[in-house]
A and B are shown apart, each in its own frame.
Chain A
Amino acid sequence: MRRTRENPEVHAGSMADIAFLLLIFFLVTTTIQTDVGLDRKLPSDDVINHIDVNERNVLRISLNKNDELFVEDRVLGIDDLKQQAVAFLDNGGAIENQLLCDYCKGAHNPKSSDNPQKAIISLSSDRDASYGTYVQVQDRLALAYRELRNREAQRLFGQDFTAMEEKFYAAETKEVEKTALKVNIERIREMFPLNITEAELNVQSQKQS
Protein backbone atom coordinates (compact mmCIF):
# COMPACT_ATOMS: atom_id res chain seq x y z
CA MET A 1 0.00 0.00 0.00
CA ARG A 2 2.69 2.38 1.00
CA ARG A 3 4.85 1.47 -1.93
CA THR A 4 2.30 2.45 -4.58
CA ARG A 5 1.77 5.82 -2.99
CA GLU A 6 5.46 6.66 -2.97
CA ASN A 7 6.36 8.33 -6.20
CA PRO A 8 9.74 6.97 -7.19
CA GLU A 9 11.93 9.77 -8.50
CA VAL A 10 14.15 9.37 -11.52
CA HIS A 11 17.68 9.70 -10.36
CA ALA A 12 19.18 12.61 -12.25
CA GLY A 13 22.61 12.35 -10.77
CA SER A 14 23.99 10.26 -13.60
CA MET A 15 22.59 12.54 -16.25
CA ALA A 16 25.77 14.57 -16.26
CA ASP A 17 27.83 11.44 -16.82
CA ILE A 18 25.71 10.38 -19.74
CA ALA A 19 25.93 13.83 -21.27
CA PHE A 20 29.69 13.90 -20.77
CA LEU A 21 30.01 10.57 -22.47
CA LEU A 22 28.08 11.85 -25.48
CA LEU A 23 30.09 15.06 -25.51
CA ILE A 24 33.39 13.20 -25.50
CA PHE A 25 32.14 10.92 -28.25
CA PHE A 26 31.33 13.91 -30.46
CA LEU A 27 34.59 15.61 -29.60
CA VAL A 28 36.54 12.59 -30.71
CA THR A 29 34.65 11.65 -33.84
CA THR A 30 34.22 15.07 -35.38
CA THR A 31 36.57 17.64 -36.78
CA ILE A 32 35.60 21.21 -37.34
CA GLN A 33 35.47 21.52 -41.09
CA THR A 34 35.87 24.78 -42.83
CA ASP A 35 33.22 25.71 -45.32
CA VAL A 36 34.59 28.97 -46.63
CA GLY A 37 36.97 29.72 -49.45
CA LEU A 38 37.76 31.85 -52.44
CA ASP A 39 35.49 31.17 -55.40
CA ARG A 40 37.16 31.47 -58.75
CA LYS A 41 36.15 30.60 -62.24
CA LEU A 42 38.73 28.90 -64.40
CA PRO A 43 39.06 30.06 -67.98
CA SER A 44 37.71 27.57 -70.46
CA ASP A 45 40.52 25.87 -72.33
CA ASP A 46 39.06 25.82 -75.80
CA VAL A 47 38.79 29.56 -76.10
CA ILE A 48 42.11 31.02 -77.02
CA ASN A 49 42.44 34.15 -75.02
CA HIS A 50 44.17 36.64 -77.22
CA ILE A 51 42.58 39.84 -76.25
CA ASP A 52 44.01 43.09 -77.43
CA VAL A 53 44.57 45.15 -74.38
CA ASN A 54 46.66 48.15 -73.76
CA GLU A 55 49.64 47.67 -71.55
CA ARG A 56 48.40 50.36 -69.23
CA ASN A 57 45.29 48.32 -68.50
CA VAL A 58 47.25 45.42 -67.12
CA LEU A 59 48.67 45.16 -63.65
CA ARG A 60 51.30 42.47 -63.68
CA ILE A 61 51.77 40.64 -60.44
CA SER A 62 54.19 37.80 -60.17
CA LEU A 63 55.26 35.50 -57.44
CA ASN A 64 58.68 33.94 -57.65
CA LYS A 65 59.89 30.66 -56.25
CA ASN A 66 61.03 32.29 -53.01
CA ASP A 67 57.52 33.60 -52.40
CA GLU A 68 58.56 37.15 -53.21
CA LEU A 69 55.98 39.38 -54.75
CA PHE A 70 56.65 41.58 -57.74
CA VAL A 71 54.26 44.18 -59.05
CA GLU A 72 55.26 45.61 -62.41
CA ASP A 73 58.76 44.20 -61.86
CA ARG A 74 59.22 45.91 -58.53
CA VAL A 75 59.36 44.10 -55.22
CA LEU A 76 56.37 44.81 -53.05
CA GLY A 77 55.45 43.72 -49.57
CA ILE A 78 52.27 41.68 -49.48
CA ASP A 79 50.63 44.17 -47.16
CA ASP A 80 50.87 46.91 -49.78
CA LEU A 81 49.32 44.82 -52.52
CA LYS A 82 45.75 45.69 -51.70
CA GLN A 83 46.47 49.40 -51.84
CA GLN A 84 48.27 49.03 -55.17
CA ALA A 85 45.42 47.04 -56.63
CA VAL A 86 42.85 49.55 -55.43
CA ALA A 87 44.84 52.42 -56.90
CA PHE A 88 45.16 50.59 -60.20
CA LEU A 89 41.52 49.57 -60.50
CA ASP A 90 40.12 52.84 -59.32
CA ASN A 91 42.40 54.95 -61.47
CA GLY A 92 39.95 55.85 -64.22
CA GLY A 93 42.50 57.38 -66.58
CA ALA A 94 40.28 57.54 -69.66
CA ILE A 95 39.25 60.90 -71.01
CA GLU A 96 37.04 59.78 -73.88
CA ASN A 97 33.36 59.75 -73.17
CA GLN A 98 32.45 56.12 -73.59
CA LEU A 99 35.32 54.92 -71.47
CA LEU A 100 35.05 57.61 -68.86
CA CYS A 101 34.64 56.30 -65.36
CA ASP A 102 32.54 58.79 -63.47
CA TYR A 103 32.60 56.94 -60.16
CA CYS A 104 36.33 56.37 -60.00
CA LYS A 105 38.05 58.25 -57.24
CA GLY A 106 41.62 57.36 -58.23
CA ALA A 107 44.46 59.50 -59.51
CA HIS A 108 43.17 59.64 -63.13
CA ASN A 109 46.67 58.87 -64.25
CA PRO A 110 46.67 58.49 -68.05
CA LYS A 111 49.48 55.91 -67.77
CA SER A 112 47.39 53.57 -65.62
CA SER A 113 44.11 51.78 -66.24
CA ASP A 114 41.33 53.40 -68.29
CA ASN A 115 38.45 52.18 -66.21
CA PRO A 116 37.67 49.22 -63.93
CA GLN A 117 35.99 47.27 -66.74
CA LYS A 118 39.16 47.38 -68.80
CA ALA A 119 41.56 46.85 -65.96
CA ILE A 120 43.01 43.37 -65.82
CA ILE A 121 45.16 42.00 -63.07
CA SER A 122 47.51 39.41 -64.43
CA LEU A 123 48.82 37.06 -61.80
CA SER A 124 51.63 34.72 -62.65
CA SER A 125 53.27 32.52 -60.15
CA ASP A 126 56.29 30.31 -60.29
CA ARG A 127 55.62 26.61 -60.01
CA ASP A 128 57.71 26.48 -56.88
CA ALA A 129 55.91 29.27 -55.07
CA SER A 130 53.98 28.03 -52.08
CA TYR A 131 50.25 27.70 -52.26
CA GLY A 132 49.85 29.56 -48.97
CA THR A 133 51.37 32.72 -50.43
CA TYR A 134 49.43 32.29 -53.64
CA VAL A 135 46.16 32.22 -51.73
CA GLN A 136 47.29 35.23 -49.73
CA VAL A 137 47.84 37.16 -52.94
CA GLN A 138 44.47 36.08 -54.31
CA ASP A 139 42.92 37.10 -51.03
CA ARG A 140 44.44 40.57 -51.07
CA LEU A 141 43.23 41.11 -54.60
CA ALA A 142 39.76 39.96 -53.61
CA LEU A 143 39.90 42.37 -50.68
CA ALA A 144 40.77 45.21 -53.04
CA TYR A 145 37.74 44.43 -55.19
CA ARG A 146 35.61 44.07 -52.11
CA GLU A 147 36.65 47.46 -50.81
CA LEU A 148 35.78 49.18 -54.08
CA ARG A 149 32.50 47.33 -54.44
CA ASN A 150 31.56 48.14 -50.88
CA ARG A 151 32.30 51.79 -51.51
CA GLU A 152 30.08 51.96 -54.56
CA ALA A 153 27.33 49.94 -52.89
CA GLN A 154 27.41 52.33 -49.96
CA ARG A 155 27.17 55.29 -52.29
CA LEU A 156 24.34 53.91 -54.42
CA PHE A 157 22.34 51.71 -52.08
CA GLY A 158 23.49 52.74 -48.63
CA GLN A 159 24.79 49.33 -47.63
CA ASP A 160 27.87 47.18 -48.03
CA PHE A 161 28.17 44.93 -51.06
CA THR A 162 29.09 42.04 -48.82
CA ALA A 163 25.94 42.62 -46.79
CA MET A 164 23.89 42.67 -49.98
CA GLU A 165 25.41 39.41 -51.14
CA GLU A 166 24.87 37.81 -47.77
CA LYS A 167 21.25 38.85 -47.84
CA PHE A 168 20.86 37.52 -51.35
CA TYR A 169 22.18 34.09 -50.45
CA ALA A 170 20.31 33.89 -47.15
CA ALA A 171 17.49 31.38 -47.25
CA GLU A 172 15.03 33.51 -45.33
CA THR A 173 15.11 36.41 -47.78
CA LYS A 174 11.91 36.66 -49.78
CA GLU A 175 11.83 36.07 -53.52
CA VAL A 176 10.73 39.62 -54.36
CA GLU A 177 13.54 41.09 -52.34
CA LYS A 178 15.99 38.73 -54.00
CA THR A 179 15.15 39.81 -57.52
CA ALA A 180 15.57 43.44 -56.51
CA LEU A 181 18.87 42.67 -54.85
CA LYS A 182 20.09 40.71 -57.83
CA VAL A 183 19.78 43.72 -60.09
CA ASN A 184 21.73 45.86 -57.66
CA ILE A 185 24.39 43.23 -57.11
CA GLU A 186 24.88 42.78 -60.82
CA ARG A 187 25.17 46.50 -61.27
CA ILE A 188 27.96 46.69 -58.71
CA ARG A 189 29.65 43.64 -60.21
CA GLU A 190 29.59 45.32 -63.58
CA MET A 191 31.18 48.43 -62.15
CA PHE A 192 34.08 46.43 -60.78
CA PRO A 193 34.24 43.09 -62.59
CA LEU A 194 36.68 40.59 -61.17
CA ASN A 195 39.31 40.46 -63.89
CA ILE A 196 42.09 38.34 -62.52
CA THR A 197 43.88 36.22 -65.06
CA GLU A 198 46.53 33.61 -64.52
CA ALA A 199 49.77 33.26 -66.38
CA GLU A 200 48.56 30.75 -68.94
CA LEU A 201 46.27 33.31 -70.51
CA ASN A 202 49.10 35.34 -72.00
CA VAL A 203 47.43 38.65 -72.36
CA GLN A 204 48.66 40.21 -75.55
CA SER A 205 50.08 43.58 -74.84
CA GLN A 206 50.10 45.59 -77.96
CA LYS A 207 49.21 49.05 -79.06
CA GLN A 208 51.37 50.84 -76.58
CA SER A 209 49.97 54.32 -76.52
Chain B
Amino acid sequence: MSISRNHKRSEPAISTASLPDIVFMLLFFFMTVTTINNSELLVDNELPEAAAVNKLDKKDRIIEIYVGMPKKNLQKVLGTGPQIQLNDRIAHLNDVAPYVLSELSKKPEAIRNFVTVSMKVDKDVKVGMVSDIKKELQKAHLFKVNYTTYQGSDVNIGF
Protein backbone atom coordinates (compact mmCIF):
# COMPACT_ATOMS: atom_id res chain seq x y z
CA MET B 1 0.00 0.00 0.00
CA SER B 2 2.60 2.41 1.10
CA ILE B 3 4.76 1.48 -1.83
CA SER B 4 2.06 2.13 -4.39
CA ARG B 5 1.21 5.48 -2.81
CA ASN B 6 4.81 6.40 -2.86
CA HIS B 7 5.05 5.37 -6.49
CA LYS B 8 2.08 7.47 -7.45
CA ARG B 9 3.43 10.53 -5.78
CA SER B 10 6.83 10.39 -7.43
CA GLU B 11 5.53 9.76 -10.94
CA PRO B 12 8.26 11.16 -13.16
CA ALA B 13 7.31 13.71 -15.77
CA ILE B 14 8.23 12.75 -19.33
CA SER B 15 11.29 14.69 -20.22
CA THR B 16 10.63 17.05 -23.09
CA ALA B 17 14.22 18.13 -23.36
CA SER B 18 14.79 16.10 -26.53
CA LEU B 19 11.61 17.31 -28.18
CA PRO B 20 13.32 20.21 -29.98
CA ASP B 21 15.88 17.80 -31.35
CA ILE B 22 13.21 15.51 -32.70
CA VAL B 23 11.31 18.38 -34.27
CA PHE B 24 14.46 19.83 -35.78
CA MET B 25 15.24 16.48 -37.26
CA LEU B 26 11.81 16.40 -38.89
CA LEU B 27 12.31 19.95 -40.02
CA PHE B 28 15.61 19.17 -41.69
CA PHE B 29 14.10 16.11 -43.30
CA PHE B 30 11.36 18.17 -44.89
CA MET B 31 13.76 20.91 -45.85
CA THR B 32 15.95 18.47 -47.75
CA VAL B 33 13.32 16.37 -49.49
CA THR B 34 11.14 19.19 -50.69
CA THR B 35 11.75 21.76 -53.34
CA ILE B 36 9.88 25.00 -53.41
CA ASN B 37 7.49 24.98 -56.29
CA ASN B 38 7.83 28.36 -57.90
CA SER B 39 4.86 28.24 -60.21
CA GLU B 40 1.39 27.62 -58.96
CA LEU B 41 -0.29 24.72 -60.67
CA LEU B 42 -3.49 25.58 -62.47
CA VAL B 43 -4.08 22.05 -63.69
CA ASP B 44 -4.44 18.71 -61.97
CA ASN B 45 -1.16 16.92 -62.20
CA GLU B 46 -1.43 13.34 -61.08
CA LEU B 47 1.60 11.81 -62.77
CA PRO B 48 1.75 8.17 -63.82
CA GLU B 49 4.10 5.74 -62.16
CA ALA B 50 7.05 4.03 -63.77
CA ALA B 51 9.79 1.73 -62.55
CA ALA B 52 12.54 1.97 -65.16
CA VAL B 53 13.16 5.64 -64.56
CA ASN B 54 16.16 7.87 -65.06
CA LYS B 55 16.94 10.68 -62.74
CA LEU B 56 16.21 14.10 -64.11
CA ASP B 57 19.05 16.46 -64.82
CA LYS B 58 19.81 19.50 -62.74
CA LYS B 59 17.02 21.97 -62.42
CA ASP B 60 18.62 24.62 -64.59
CA ARG B 61 18.67 22.24 -67.55
CA ILE B 62 14.98 21.54 -67.44
CA ILE B 63 12.07 23.18 -69.20
CA GLU B 64 8.77 22.13 -67.73
CA ILE B 65 5.47 21.67 -69.47
CA TYR B 66 2.42 20.80 -67.43
CA VAL B 67 -0.63 19.21 -68.97
CA GLY B 68 -3.81 18.26 -67.20
CA MET B 69 -7.43 19.03 -66.54
CA PRO B 70 -7.99 22.44 -64.96
CA LYS B 71 -8.36 22.54 -61.20
CA LYS B 72 -11.94 22.38 -59.89
CA ASN B 73 -12.22 26.08 -59.08
CA LEU B 74 -10.99 27.05 -62.54
CA GLN B 75 -13.24 24.74 -64.50
CA LYS B 76 -15.90 27.43 -64.86
CA VAL B 77 -13.47 29.57 -66.80
CA LEU B 78 -11.34 27.00 -68.54
CA GLY B 79 -13.74 24.13 -69.05
CA THR B 80 -12.95 20.52 -68.30
CA GLY B 81 -10.78 19.65 -71.28
CA PRO B 82 -7.05 19.18 -70.87
CA GLN B 83 -4.97 22.34 -70.82
CA ILE B 84 -1.31 23.11 -71.21
CA GLN B 85 0.37 25.15 -68.54
CA LEU B 86 3.60 26.93 -69.36
CA ASN B 87 5.26 28.72 -66.50
CA ASP B 88 2.27 30.00 -64.55
CA ARG B 89 -0.32 30.51 -67.22
CA ILE B 90 -2.55 28.40 -69.40
CA ALA B 91 -1.40 28.32 -72.98
CA HIS B 92 -2.45 27.11 -76.37
CA LEU B 93 -0.69 24.37 -78.28
CA ASN B 94 0.78 26.98 -80.67
CA ASP B 95 2.51 28.68 -77.76
CA VAL B 96 4.57 25.63 -76.88
CA ALA B 97 7.30 26.06 -79.47
CA PRO B 98 7.84 29.80 -78.85
CA TYR B 99 7.82 29.18 -75.12
CA VAL B 100 10.47 26.46 -75.14
CA LEU B 101 12.63 28.48 -77.51
CA SER B 102 12.42 31.56 -75.33
CA GLU B 103 13.21 29.48 -72.26
CA LEU B 104 16.11 27.96 -74.10
CA SER B 105 17.53 31.35 -75.01
CA LYS B 106 17.48 32.31 -71.34
CA LYS B 107 19.85 29.48 -70.51
CA PRO B 108 23.59 29.98 -70.72
CA GLU B 109 24.96 28.88 -74.04
CA ALA B 110 27.15 26.16 -72.58
CA ILE B 111 24.27 24.06 -71.38
CA ARG B 112 21.79 24.62 -74.20
CA ASN B 113 22.62 21.30 -75.76
CA PHE B 114 21.77 19.47 -72.57
CA VAL B 115 18.36 20.98 -72.00
CA THR B 116 15.60 18.43 -71.48
CA VAL B 117 11.91 19.13 -71.71
CA SER B 118 10.17 17.63 -68.75
CA MET B 119 6.62 16.69 -69.63
CA LYS B 120 4.52 16.58 -66.52
CA VAL B 121 1.35 15.15 -67.89
CA ASP B 122 -1.60 13.98 -65.87
CA LYS B 123 -2.29 10.31 -66.36
CA ASP B 124 -5.86 10.90 -67.50
CA VAL B 125 -4.83 13.07 -70.42
CA LYS B 126 -5.17 11.49 -73.84
CA VAL B 127 -2.11 10.47 -75.82
CA GLY B 128 -3.19 12.64 -78.75
CA MET B 129 -2.57 15.79 -76.76
CA VAL B 130 0.88 14.57 -75.76
CA SER B 131 1.86 13.66 -79.29
CA ASP B 132 0.72 17.09 -80.48
CA ILE B 133 3.09 18.65 -77.97
CA LYS B 134 5.86 16.32 -79.04
CA LYS B 135 5.36 17.44 -82.62
CA GLU B 136 5.67 21.05 -81.52
CA LEU B 137 8.89 20.20 -79.74
CA GLN B 138 10.22 18.51 -82.85
CA LYS B 139 9.48 21.68 -84.79
CA ALA B 140 11.47 23.62 -82.21
CA HIS B 141 14.28 21.08 -82.55
CA LEU B 142 14.18 20.07 -78.93
CA PHE B 143 14.44 16.34 -79.04
CA LYS B 144 15.27 15.46 -75.47
CA VAL B 145 12.11 14.81 -73.57
CA ASN B 146 11.44 13.27 -70.24
CA TYR B 147 8.09 11.78 -69.37
CA THR B 148 8.21 12.76 -65.74
CA THR B 149 6.66 10.15 -63.50
CA TYR B 150 6.48 9.10 -59.93
CA GLN B 151 8.86 6.40 -58.85
CA GLY B 152 6.97 3.13 -58.95
CA SER B 153 8.36 -0.05 -57.54
CA ASP B 154 9.58 -2.93 -59.63
CA VAL B 155 7.77 -5.34 -57.36
CA ASN B 156 4.17 -4.59 -58.17
CA ILE B 157 4.90 -4.77 -61.88
CA GLY B 158 5.63 -8.46 -61.63
CA PHE B 159 8.56 -10.72 -62.17
Contact = CB atoms under 8 A, between A and B. Distances in A.
Contact of B124 (A26, A37, A130): A130
Interface of B: 16-17, 19-20, 23-24, 26-27, 30-31, 33-37, 47-48, 50-56, 116, 118-119, 121-131, 134-135, 137-139, 141-152, 154, 157-159
B144 A39 contact: yes
A22 B52 CA distance: 36
A42 B50 contact: no
Label chain B's interface by main secondary structure: mixed
A97 interface: no
Contacts of A139: 50-53, 149, 152, 157
Interface string A8-42: 00001101100110110011011111111111111
Given A38-B50, A132-B124, A22 B27 contact: yes
Contacts of A169: 55
B131 A127 contact: yes
Interface string A49-89: 00000000000000100000000000000010011000000
Given A37-B56, A42-B134, A44-B138, A130 B123 contact: yes
A99 interface: no
Given A16-B19, A23-B30, A129 B146 contact: no
Interface residues of A, number: 52
Contact of A27 (B19, B30, B53): B30
A75 to B, nearest CB: 18
Contacts of B47: 34
A159 interface: no
Contacts of A136: 48, 50
Contacts of B36: 29-30
Contact of B148 (A15, A19, A22, A36): A36
- Give the residue among A22, A23, A37, A127 with the most B Cβ atoms within 10 A: A37
Given A12-B20, A16-B19, A32-B33, A131 B148 contact: no
